[in-house]
Amino acid sequence: MPVLAIIGAQWGDEGKGKIVDLLAENAHVVARYQGGANAGHEVVVGGESFILHLVPSGILHPGKINIIGNGVVLDPESFEAEVNGLRKRGVKVDGCLFVSDRAHLTLALHKQLDAAREGASEGKKIGSTKRGISPTYMDKAGRVGLRPADLNDADYCKSIIAANLYEKNILFKELYGVKPLSAASVFAEVKRHFAAVKPFLADTTGMIHKFLAQGKNILLEGAQGTLLDIDHGSYPYVTASNATAGGAASGTGLGPTQIGRVIGVCKAYTTRVGEGPFPTEFDAKKSHIVRELGGEYGRTTGRARRCGWLDMVALKHAVMVNGLTELAITKLDVLDTMAEIEICVAYKIGNKTMTRFPASVSELDRAKPVTKKFKGWLSSTKKARSLKQLPTNARTYLKAIEALAGVPVGIVSVGADRTETIFVNKKARDYSF
């Protein structure tokens, strides 16, 4: 099946946008399958940077079909701003961008609730992006969400808004001191939003299956990463969707057997934004050095990313729960000036040594990394375009990642630009598998 999924193998920001942009060249369709405007996928083309939040990272290749699938939560306000921003920069969106009529809509009330929950001193601070993601998925699961398909029926919309506000206004008023919302104002907002998304709406599941039947290449773009996955991540410090490969099927309407290859994108080290355990996290000084070398600031919120060594316990978990068939290792160049590099191969928790990623957040919090040390290469990798052009120690490092993870490395990225990439072999960018 010519369907390839790109999945974040860590805590997000692995460089999925760059890899999707590269592989979009040989794709016919690029589809986002979960998450929302919490994502920030940067693509750099000829020194020009594009940051995509909802629009798939295939949009910079003219002539591709870009789909926002049913599993995505769509904030129409953010969508409109992003589409207009792309149009202004000469990127064609009309006629090549489609939004599922089943995607759930993020409204102002979801963003308000996200911010209120994050700000509450009694609540649980997750360090969310405050883009309303968790409240939108809560309403989806709570059966009081709205989807574009519902918006033609005003009476149905009004009944859902009433059911939603029946509970939300109690939370706003009694818990968070936020002014309750009127059903009329929310309905007016929904109507406004409908106008913004209407020209893009489509039965995207049907579209994907039609292209699949024609033998077209389909690329599925994950947002966030495995360790932020609601089921397989470091719960509760996760996002509210399935960022893993299962989500790629449910979030587009493909069957799991129709996905042929699953590429895990993984930095040569690790970063994380927001709260939650991070066993291989550097101390403040080293974190600062790597943050500056790697430009590790969130592309959605601007927050400083926490930095640490590559965590093989976590990566092996990602290999397992996604069925990864290969890895794309990004940001190898960021390690160019390190004399010594470490990979965490196990966790020490109390007097136990674990190689399994723990389900318990308190165990993960207590985990101390057991590391394997590697000599740095202390020279620039940025100009390498084949494995042979990499310094020997960099090749040794990549070989160790392959051996420890148990899956081959197909792509190595040595800079943000499209051109700063090593395809290990022809198969790495091919859809005929």
Is-contact 262 245, C-beta < 8 A? yes
* 40 interacts with Mg ion by CB under 5 A: yes
Min CB(381)–ligand GDP separation in Å: 9
* 334 interacts with ligand GDP by CB under 6 A: yes
CA atoms within 13 A on the CB side of 410: 20
For residue 41, indicate whether it is catalytic.
yes
Active-site residue, selected from the candidate residues 13, 21, 114, 333: 13
Binding mask 37-66 for ligand GDP (x = CB under 6 A): ---xxx-x----------------------
User: Could you give the CA distance from residue 66 to residue 48 in angstroms, rounded to a whole number?
Assistant: 21
Binding mask 385-414 for ligand GDP (x = CB under 6 A): ----------------------------xx
Min CB(428)–ligand IMO separation in Å: 22
Is-contact 197 79, C-beta < 8 A? yes
Q: CA of 100: how far to CAs of 52, 53, 149, 245, 247, in Å? A: 18, 16, 9, 19, 15
Q: Is the dihedral of CA 135, 86, 97, 416 positive or negative?
A: negative
Q: Which is nearer to ligand IMO, 300 or 381 (CB)?
A: 300
Amino acid at 183: A
Applying the rule CB under 5 A, the residues between 273 and 302 that interact with Mg ion are 299
For residue 365, indicate whether it is catalytic.
no
Q: Is the dihedral of CA 32, 129, 14, 49 positive or negative?
A: positive
Name residues whose C-beta falls within 8 Å of residue 133's C-beta, 6 or more positions apart in sequence.
35, 36, 37, 38, 73, 106, 110, 114, 239, 240, 241
Binding mask 259-278 for ligand IMO (x = CB under 6 A): --------------xx----
Residue from 58, 333, 344, 349 that binds ligand GDP (CB under 6 A)?
A: 333
Q: Which residue has the tokens 């979009």?
A: 24
Q: Compute how many residues bind ligand GDP; rule: CB under 6 A.
A: 23
Residue from 110, 299, 306, 317 that binds ligand GDP (CB under 6 A)?
A: 299
Binding mask 243-282 for ligand GDP (x = CB under 6 A): ----------------------------------------
Q: Which residues are catalytic?
A: 13, 41
